[in-house]
Amino acid sequence: MQNSHYISSEVLQLDTLQEIISQNKQIALSEEAKTAIQKCREYLDAKMESQNAPIYGINTGFGSLCNVIISNKNLSQLQENLVKSHACGTGEEVPSEIVKIMLLLKIQSLSYGHSGVQLLTVQRLVDFYNNDILPVIFNQGSLGASGDLAPLAHLSLPLIGEGEVYFEGKKIHSSIVLQKFNWQPIVLQSKEGLALLNGTQFMSSYGIYILLKAIKYSYFSDVISAISLEGFDGRIEPFNELIHYIRPHKGQIVTAKRMTYLLEDSEIIAQEKTHVQDPYSFRCIPQVHGASKDTIDYVKRVFKTEINSVTDNPNIFIGEDIIISGGNFHGQPLALALDFLAIALSELGSISERRTYQLISGLRGLPAFLVSNAGLNSGFMIPQYTAASIASQNKQLATPASVDSIVSSNGQEDHVSMGANAATKCLRIMENLERILAIELMNASQAIEFRRPLKSSDFIEIFLKSYREEVPFVKEDRILHYDIQKSIAFLNSFMIDDEIDN
């Protein structure tokens, strides 16, 4: 298959995942993956025929019902009942981009041959992915501990002809799509329902989606702050590498180098300054942005490990002839990472809003609220209000979810990660950061016009020329909501060539 990615045991890199998503590549199971899946299923079938001893989730109930033995004749019904009974998600629908990543990551995890699923089941998930058949999933219902049970149940319902999907722009019952493709509902075999529902693919998919955007907006934080620095007539000295090599945090060094590059040959930065220092929101850009970069790097490592892991339960080891019930579905690594990422993104928004505030304050020769005839015109007074409101909401959302836990399943599941809640609120913080940075860009681009005829660097001038085609200079008051929306769209339209994998 041309333009396809083959699912295999090779490490799935983040840049590969980005390529699959951005280029809308098809996926296929490698022969290696097919063999691993089939051998594991054959092993489990033989094991079930040769012994009657209880094996959790295969011939027993689930959770606190783990001691209830199920007869072999009811094993398929047991798995179907599991999927149906656990499909009790609620809240908002999960964005389609994240649902598609969920499908991909569930396929990846099942392909290693430790889950006992049928090859037909995994191939059907591949077919869903390749044909953009996206199950309707809801963002509330997972404790992030026994896997993302409720969301993954909704992901799995269409396999058995239940639940709804989005297909060709419409929400329809999955049975209609099965008929269209002449597919029969999957008859789940022993363990299959549990293999589908146990796993961290809800948390992981949110995390990957946010992480890829975070890498992009970490870069934009640097670019936009450089424009703000020029608009504020800031100094270049805080970015001198000598400072940063005596406190050599990686992100700090990277940020300082980038700022120096972005400001290279700028007439504005080179002009003589009448002020000795800049406020922290300008002077400490390397230290603050750099700390968030280091956090993003840590989160990359966590999620790279997770998307290349088996996270259902129990796990089957053919070579050792053993089936082990453990806890690889527990989302604690992801919960902590998502909370850390949320804090790091919130801080990028916090310092951005402070720069916006400085720009509208009538300092350093800039007009109050960055507009001529202030008083008659309010100019950029209220976008800063908006940024301040959003930044404060981010601070509230950044309260960690992972420090919480609540007992479920009659005490059997007595410690949970709350990683799903960490994931959904981290996405809100990421979306808020886009808005805060868009507002800073509006203000920075306005401020820099008051430094004319001096020019900034070639990079910044080209960037601003492109931006001005979408959002013109504000000469007198207009409805700035539209400018904010256009600024967000402008930033989202950019593809950046920044390092994803270390």
Each residue's pLDDT tens digit, 161-176:
999 999 999 999 999 9
pLDDT digits (tens, 9 = 90+) for 455-482: 999 999 999 999 999 999 999 999 999 9
Look up 56 and say whether it is catalytic. Answer: yes
pLDDT of residue 67: 73
CATH no. of 206-310+328-404+416-492 = 1.20.200.10
Q: In sequence order, which residues have a C-beta less than 8 Å from that of residue 267 and are 6 or more positions away? A: 454, 455, 456
pLDDT-derived band at 501 (thresholds 50, 70, 90) equals low
Q: In sequence order, which residues have a C-beta less than 8 Å from that of residue 2 and are 6 or more positions away? A: none
Q: Which of 43, 56, 217, 219 is catalytic?
A: 56
pLDDT of residue 73: 76
Q: What's the CA gap between 418 and 439, in Å, rounded?
A: 32
Q: Indicate where the chain has its CATH 1.10.275.10 domain(s).
A: 4-199
Side-chain half-sphere of 452: how many Cα atoms within 13 Å? 6
Q: What's the CA gap between 39 and 42, in Å, rounded?
A: 5
For residue 125, give the 3-state DSSP assignment.
helix
Mean pLDDT of 10-24: 94
pLDDT of residue 180: 97
Domain 4-199 part of CATH 1.10.275.10: yes
Q: What's the CA gap between 427 and 398, in Å, rounded?
A: 11
Q: Indicate where the chain has its CATH 1.20.200.10 domain(s).
A: 206-310+328-404+416-492
Task: Note if the bond before 135 is cis, omega within 30 degrees.
Answer: no
Q: What percent of the chain has pLDDT over 70?
A: 97
Candidates 235, 236, 254; CA nearest to 244 is 254
Q: What's the CA gap between 256 and 286, in Å, rounded?
A: 5
pLDDT digits (tens, 9 = 90+) for 373-406: 889 999 999 999 999 999 999 999 999 999 998 8
Mean pLDDT of the chain: 94
Question: Residue 373 has which token pair?
Answer: 């005839």
Indicate the Cα dihedral angle 418, 420, 421, 422, nearest 10°. Answer: 90
pLDDT of residue 499: 63
pLDDT of residue 195: 95
Asked whether the beta carbons of 78 and 103 are under 8 A apart, the reply is no
For residue 168, give the 3-state DSSP assignment.
coil
pLDDT-derived band at 74 (thresholds 50, 70, 90) equals confident
pLDDT of residue 1: 54
pLDDT of residue 78: 87
Question: Residue 424 has which token pair?
Answer: 């959904």
pLDDT of residue 166: 98
Residue 154 per-residue DSSP state: H
pLDDT-derived band at 413 (thresholds 50, 70, 90) equals confident
Q: Check whether 317 has a pLDDT greater than 90.
A: yes
Q: What's the CA gap between 11 and 21, in Å, rounded?
A: 17
